Chain A
């Protein structure tokens, strides 16, 4: 039981390049989330998927797109990376769509945009 896994662990991009961050969970959870963590700012929600087939914007969605590929997988895409997107990205999942349900986090992806 691996929980929430994220790939890659580290990535360096040049401005304008695109990439997709992958996230998968093996807990049969319905809801999945993408956050970014910047120094001194805590976590901010980018997008979430309350259930398979649905996605919604969070607090900072600009510059990102998401795909809920199936119940297990939720990917985050940067179409044209910018230095402001340098951050640590965390994927999380929860059993139900209720926000008070415990969220389980992956280990994160450290992204640097030059």
Chain B
């Protein structure tokens, strides 16, 4: 089946630092989504990307849809303690094929 390679697996950063994580795939996706999950909770949608090359921001978060449609990255600027959690990328091939394929996640820890 399709796999998404998400890196890094984990990050330990100081409050105020910027963070970057990415996802790559051997297959093309038409939609990329980024989610954050906190312990014991469901994934929360952060950003959705629909077009190759698209750059979208949501507050301190910025995500881009790669030109090849096989990758995406998420940046968090000026991290704060509440950014702690696991960040997942998810790709979708077609709306009619509803399933999201998730990466394995990037666990972010922020030291105050």
A, B in one complex: no
Binding site for B on A (CB under 8 A): none
Binding site for A on B (CB under 8 A): none
